[in-house]
Structure 1
Amino acid sequence: RLEGMPVEWRLSQVQKTQMARFVLPTTRMNIDWDVRPGMQVRLTHRPCKELEKGWSKTGVVHDVKHDCEVTLIFKEGTVDFKEGLNEPEPEPFPTDITTGFDIEVVWIGVPYKRMREAVQKLVTDEFAMTEYLLHTLLGNEVKVEKSEYSSNEIKYNLPDDWNVPNLPPLNDSQIAAIRHCLERPLSLIQGPPGTGKTVTAAAIVYHLVAQKKDKVLVVAPSNTAVDHLTLKLHATGMKVVRVAAKSREGLPYLVENLMLHNMVSMYAQFAKGQDHKLWKLLRKKQKKGELSRLEEIEFKLLWRKIEIKILNAVDVICCTCSSAADDRLKNLVFKRVLVDEATQAQEPECLIPLVNGAQQIILVGDHCQLGPVIKSSQARQASYQISMFERLVQTNIRPMRLQIQYRMHPCLSEFSSNTFYEGSLKNGVTAQERYH
């Protein structure tokens, strides 16, 4: 907690929302104040002459510059459907006061609550995933007899050409990995550095959509990883939507045009009838800063209606592992799930997207690189730093390894190949191409 801090106020001209900026003291720029976009921070001002009752408000970190300049964004006009018209009016911002604020990071328990619920659902909900996947993830020996989950029973029409529109040509190890995923209910794809892991993941999703016509859920533990894969997927021509936590919707993204909240706005703008009324309410809210209580409720209901339309219409839904338990997705069944950067996810975090009816799971990552970051020594003693991917490898599930690297100088790749990958990596670039 920082006390007596100066704050600068300004109004976002684009979103018509209040913003606040403060600078962390150099003495507090350490691990305890590792603030990042998306985190929630509470500003508090104690009672004074200008504020008889004091003031407190929680905002979302919008931007962090030079590791110390923090910009918060505040959202107004939210409606709790359980409370309806009884929600209190928001307090005005004390923009005339610029000193004496207390600042503290707000701990958010939602991701951990969702992890706990995913574990509980795994053992109590018989429809969470197939029996085969359940026993395989638990490390039990599974005999697959005549069923849709047997590799010779999955009815895919394998393509003659494995290459995907607007993606680089695939090499033999990438094609083998994709084919492996299409033929099995559970697949691990190991992507050493520079081997085209993201391209391979996008190609897997493309062929899943093309073959089975099912909606595919694509997740990763970090927003950055989700954004990069979303761009690749969109480039192939598939209908893709990126779902973010509502608290992060005001933040900048690499895929702004694919964000669900932006797609809702665009849809409403060009829709007809009742759906177009949402656009009129949105414009009024942006212009005046707020709606009446009844208008706000109607706005939220129309917004949710269009969200459902978009989610039902797309081929691929992309989000973080935690956001897979978002209320907007809870009524959807995801039979095919791909988890990118799976080796960086805590195991219960990785489980969240898998318990909505999974029949086919693809985990993409590399257990020879960075694993989940676990600071608690007690959690580490309980092997919490071991990802689901790595644990499954330890149960003798062999990952399909991508074998041609396109990033490093051959001398560098030789070291990593011999040290971590049994000398299996080959070079897709020459020494001359990597000479500077």
Structure 2
Amino acid sequence: MREFTAMHSVASLPFKDLILSATEAHKDGDDQSRAWNVPEPLMDYLKVNLNDSQLEAVNAGLSRRSFVLIQGPPGTGKTQTILGLLSAVLHSAPARMQIKGGFDVLKHGPELDIDGKRAHWIKASPWLLGANPRDLIMPVDGDDGFYPTGNELKPEIVSSNRKYRAHVLVCAPSNSALDEIVLRVLKTGIRDENNNTYNPKIVRIGVKALHSVKAVSMDYLIQQKLSGVDRTLDGGRRGAGEYDRIRASILDEAAIVFSTLSFSGSSIFSRMTRAFDVVIIDEAAQAVEPATLIPLIHGCRQIFLVGDPVQLPATVISQTAQKLGYGTSLFKRFQAAGFPVQMLKIQYRMHPEISTFPSKEFYEGVLQDGEGLSRKRPWHSYSCFGPFCFFDVDGIESQPSGSGSWVNQDEVEFITLLYHQLALRYPELKSSPEVGVISPYRHQVKLLKDSFRSTFGDQSRELIDVSTVDGFQGREKEIVIFSCVRCNKEQKIGFVSDFRRMNVAITRAKSAVLVVGSASTLKQDKHWNNLVESAKERNCLFKVPKPLTAFFAEDNLKTMKVERRPPPELNARVLEEINQEVVRQELMNVDDAADHADAGDDDDADMDADDGGGDD
């Protein structure tokens, strides 16, 4: 219903032509009179703490274009970029607002009076037949209290010369993705115009919020306000109107409101007196287009779509809806139409030998590696535990009765053995859950969990993180083992062929991604064939014989022992030091020769005397 309402509201949006056409012809250009002007101390901070591509993305937003698309490949600091955007938007003002002595107040184009809001709602919801479903009139709460966050950061002190403050709505398709951003804001804060770190006023609305964000949840903040009302009114009775008034005041006072896309269509928003200046949608490529439109119906001046169309798409149950394009995101449609996209280009997660393939296969080779990622780990001393490995296991797939899922018991057995060898040789991997095991199929995940539990006991749940690929998006582990499952003569691989799911699976690891699958079955797919060939070219494809235990026999492992050599840069440095030492020794020899030449006969006399004394 909320998606349907949002679609009916598109006609009244100021950027409706851009949404419908998704072409540059209808974008509003880089009108400098509308651009954000960032205070110099804050801009200096952004230049130092964001890389070039992240800063370009922020600057694109500061141009005040109606839509800004930011593509964040795995490990490229997407959340860091969003924090930079929040700092810039909340502590800047449109250039045309700057006046001598401070800032004038910007009036919202989409802001409507009560009658206008009623007409807008009726137009968007024709089935209401003119009924006004909500009371839109409420008193304005003047409380300027600080929302508690439970950390050490201080609330912002607003300078007297800045009267204007942007109102920002941050959305995500899921509660988990939303809470990740909320936690980052609570943990690190954002920067003000003087480059001071502080906690902004924020509220997280909706259900299923993590306990760690409770202090900024709507329910908690309402109780805090009501406790103050009780003291003031001596515990008088509270009606539903009091709750509504407090909810509205919390939304109006918050600098940043956090909500899932679906909940942003809640009736609670209709009681706000302030429209949103900016809407930021994280994981935008993982949301269907109608859901992305929901937060736009409240009126905003600018929308940031942040996501990655080459990672997991929205989940669509109906095959008919999927075929008709319902699963296409607004981000993907805009990108396909040629709308400019700001790409984050430096990844800070994966060892370079891991990032090489996804960069070439999915990102046209533009991904660059951050510093320090090529560091060797102890397990890299064996080629079969290296940064990028493919284990060719000729297993047997099967389908549980009454299920559409698939399992492969041979892969389960091999992965259990593989983890056992890692944990046995490198106990540090057991000190914390540094190993993740993922698979596209839920039944395979269940078999893996059962195998680990029977082999390593109940503690396996704390040491090994086993999940589906979909459940692992946005997460990372030191080592990731990926079970592909499919193995058949017909070379059918089902939705394992989805390159977006493949991309997510192989980009979760920091130091080693170990892929377990049937090379002959997977190679029928273009992307999987490229991965297998890449593994062959880099000598990291291992054919696993039966019995599977034979692969981990000590004699076989010895053949895969890697000679530890210093990296090339270290070799060059050592060679330079050796050359310098040789030169130093040669100079010393020259000096010694000169000294001997000066001493000459005295040295000979001493020697003769010693020799003579010896004869006596």
TM-score, L = length of structure 1 = 0.62
Cα deviation, residue 377, structure 1: 1.1
* Rounded Cα–Cα distance in structure 2 between residues aligned with 1:363 and 1:210: 20
Match of 1:397 among 329, 334, 339: 339
Match of 1:120 among 8, 11, 21: 8
Change (3 A) 1:372 1:141: closer
User: Does 355-364 or 260-269 show the bigger shift?
Assistant: 260-269
Aligned to 2:276, the other structure's residue is in SS state coil
Change (3 A) 1:351 1:114: same
Partner of 1:31: none
Change (3 A) 1:339 1:168: farther
Q: How does 1:123-142 map to 2 (within 5 A)?
A: 123=11, 126=12, 129-130=13-14, 133-139=15-21, 141=23
Aligned to 1:153, the other structure's residue is in SS state helix
Partner of 1:309: 249
* Rounded Cα–Cα distance in structure 2 between residues aligned with 1:155 and 1:432: 40
- Asked if 1:156 corresponds to 2:114, the answer is no
Partner of 1:207: 88
- Asked if 1:233 corresponds to 2:185, the answer is yes
Change (3 A) 1:118 1:431: closer
Aligned to 2:34, the other structure's residue is in SS state coil
Tell me if structure 1 keeps the 8 A contact 2:352–2:374.
no
* Rounded Cα–Cα distance in structure 2 between residues aligned with 1:194 and 1:409: 11
Cα deviation, residue 401, structure 1: 0.5
User: Does 251-260 or 340-349 show the bigger shift?
Assistant: 251-260
Cα deviation, residue 417, structure 1: 0.9
Cα deviation, residue 265, structure 1: 1.2
Partner of 1:218: 170
Change (3 A) 1:228 1:363: same
Identity of aligned residues (%): 30
Match of 2:216 among 251, 254, 258: 258
Cα deviation, residue 118, structure 1: 0.4
Aligned to 2:280, the other structure's residue is in SS state strand
Partner of 1:379: 321
Partner of 1:325: 265
Aligned to 1:304, the other structure's residue is in SS state helix
Partner of 1:169: 49
Tell me if structure 2 keeps the 8 A contact 1:163–1:170.
no
Change (3 A) 1:230 1:391: same
* Rounded Cα–Cα distance in structure 2 between residues aligned with 1:257 and 1:141: 42
Superposed CA deviations along residues 237-258 of structure 1, whole A, max 9, x for unmatched, are 221111114xx5xx64331101
Partner of 1:187: 68
* Count of aligned residue pairs for this structure pair: 294
* Rounded Cα–Cα distance in structure 2 between residues aligned with 1:167 and 1:338: 21
Change (3 A) 1:423 1:317: same
Aligned to 1:337, the other structure's residue is in SS state strand
Partner of 2:363: 421
* Rounded Cα–Cα distance in structure 2 between residues aligned with 1:138 and 1:361: 15
Aligned to 2:270, the other structure's residue is in SS state coil
Q: How does 1:1-400 map to 2 (within 5 A)?
A: 113-123=1-11, 126=12, 129-130=13-14, 133-139=15-21, 141=23, 143=25, 150-161=30-41, 169-183=49-63, 184-212=65-93, 213-234=165-186, 235-236=189-190, 237-245=199-207, 248=208, 252-271=210-229, 274=232, 280=235, 295=237, 298-332=238-272, 333-400=275-342
Tell me if structure 2 keeps the 8 A contact 1:189–1:400.
yes
Aligned to 2:166, the other structure's residue is in SS state coil
Tell me if structure 2 keeps the 8 A contact 1:410–1:429.
no
* Rounded Cα–Cα distance in structure 2 between residues aligned with 1:262 and 1:420: 43
Aligned to 2:90, the other structure's residue is in SS state helix
The residue identity in structure 2 corresponding to 1:173 is: S
Tell me if structure 1 keeps the 8 A contact 2:173–2:287.
yes
Partner of 1:412: 354
Superposed CA deviations along residues 260-281 of structure 1, whole A, max 9, x for unmatched, are 110111233345755x65xx57
Change (3 A) 1:181 1:419: same
Change (3 A) 1:391 1:177: same
* Rounded Cα–Cα distance in structure 2 between residues aligned with 1:329 and 1:303: 14
Tell me if structure 2 keeps the 8 A contact 1:410–1:430.
no
Cα deviation, residue 221, structure 1: 0.5
Cα deviation, residue 163, structure 1: 6.5
* Rounded Cα–Cα distance in structure 2 between residues aligned with 1:182 and 1:395: 23
Tell me if structure 1 keeps the 8 A contact 2:285–2:329.
yes
Aligned to 2:226, the other structure's residue is in SS state helix
TM-score, L = length of structure 2 = 0.45
* Rounded Cα–Cα distance in structure 2 between residues aligned with 1:315 and 1:167: 24
Aligned to 1:319, the other structure's residue is in SS state strand
Aligned to 2:203, the other structure's residue is in SS state strand
Higher helix residue share: 2
**Structure 2: tracts of 5 or more residues without a match:** 94-164, 191-198, 379-616
**Structure 1: tracts of 5 or more residues without a match:** 1-112, 282-294
Cα deviation, residue 334, structure 1: 1.9
Tell me if structure 2 keeps the 8 A contact 1:168–1:199.
no
Superposed CA deviations along residues 185-239 of structure 1, whole A, max 9, x for unmatched, are 2100000000010111121122111113220111000011111111223422221
Cα deviation, residue 141, structure 1: 4.8
Aligned to 2:312, the other structure's residue is in SS state coil
Tell me if structure 2 keeps the 8 A contact 1:162–1:175.
no
